[in-house]
Amino acid sequence: MKRIIVSICLTVLCFCAKAQKPVITFETETYDFGEIKEELGVVTCNFNYTNEGKSPLVLHSVQPSCGCTTPEWTRTPIQAGEKGVIKISFNPANRPGAFNKTITVQTNAETAVKTLRITGKVIPKPKTIEDEYPMVMGDLRLSDVHLAFTKLAPDETKITEINIINTSDHDVKPEFINVPNHIKIASIPETLKPNEKGVIQANYNTALKNDWGFVTDNIYVIFDGKRTYTNRLTVSATISEDFSKLTEKELAKAPKAEFNEMSHDFGTIPPTDKVSFDFVITNKGKENLIIRKVKASCGCTAATPEKNILAKGESTKINVTFDPHNKSGRQNKTITVITNDPKQSTVTLRIMGLITTMDSSDFK
């Protein structure tokens, strides 16, 4: 009997405690902005609420789901029966199209977490010449200064282009210098009249480049025959073999590169002494392994393989030498090795070390 009485008392106490808690009630938990013009900037709305409980209501946090949404809210406790407001600001800049954002409200109320929502559609602002052609070279504006060819096969020819416009009041004829033989580049049209649009078109020939991996070239644009090295176009490409069409039988016979180590720590390095380490690469496949390229991430590091073609089971050393001259502190360098191993054609090796400080005894 005593247990039943205790149980009833606890139930009554819990009910009373629950009844004493604040209760947050919003007039609406969703606000639709409808269509918003991006150029008009930030828009705001208010979420009004009432504390319908018996004790003060405290908003612990108001957390939006996106940085484009900023909340402001009543920080002081809201007494029973009183009202409060959460003001939400939404910035439509660079966010065209429909949006659906949430705001999580945490309180001391009976229902501790509430989720508010704002929706709408951003109508993008009309693009200006500056938006479409953000880069400037002389009297030309360009959509970009980077001609990116992304991934190319070793025997591929590909064309890409960037958009240009003549914003001056006279004809402009761009010309190009420092053009390597594997790239053909031209302005189309050759001469642009005032306010005329065109393109700079580049044709890339990887067979003439005869290189592997990520490669870049710099080409300079001149006007009226005046040479300047401030107007620079960067041309990049990643030249690699396409192994995706190999059959299972061909993959089983393919070369396989295996390294004795993937990294080496030299420990402490005197500031005047070069240090070296030999990475060993072995062909664990059945066909010849060809080392296409070995490239260090820094001019302070030299990396050279003893052999470039390895038969089945054959190994060779890749000697890596690091020069600490004019460097200090902890150093981390990489060496990229490109082979014809279809499963890992590009491998990154790492060297590291701590360059010690030179003291007066080093000069004696």
Q: Are 266 and 277 in contact (CB under 8 A)?
A: yes
Nearest Cα residue to 23 out of 115, 114, 118 = 114
3-state secondary structure of 220: strand
pLDDT band at 226 (very low <50, low <70, confident <90, very high): confident
Q: Confidence class of residue 210 from pLDDT cuts 50, 70 and 90? A: very high
CATH architecture, range 129-239: Sandwich (2.60)
74: pLDDT strictly greater than 90: no
Q: Classify 248-360 by CATH class.
A: mainly beta
User: Which pLDDT belongs to residue 19?
Assistant: 54
Would you list the domain boundaries of the chain? Answer: 22-123, 129-239, 248-360
Q: Are 85 and 50 in contact (CB under 8 A)?
A: no
In the DSSP assignment, the letter for residue 280 is E
Distance CA 12, CA 359 (A): 80
CA 75 → CA 78, 109, 112, 115, 147, distances in Å? 9, 15, 16, 18, 53
Residue recorded with tokens 């004809």: 171
Burial class (CB in 10 A: 0-12, 13-18, 19+), 342: middle
Task: Answer whether residue 227 shows pLDDT above 90.
Answer: no
pLDDT score of 13 = 39
Span of 16-25, 179-188, 222-231, 295-304 with lowest mean pLDDT: 16-25
CATH assignment of 22-123? 2.60.40.10
State what percent of residues in the chain have pLDDT above 90: 85
Q: Is 295 helix (H, G, I), strand (E, B) or coil?
A: strand
Equal fold, 22-123 vs 129-239 = yes
Question: What is the band of 358 on the pLDDT scale with cuts at 50, 70, 90?
Answer: low
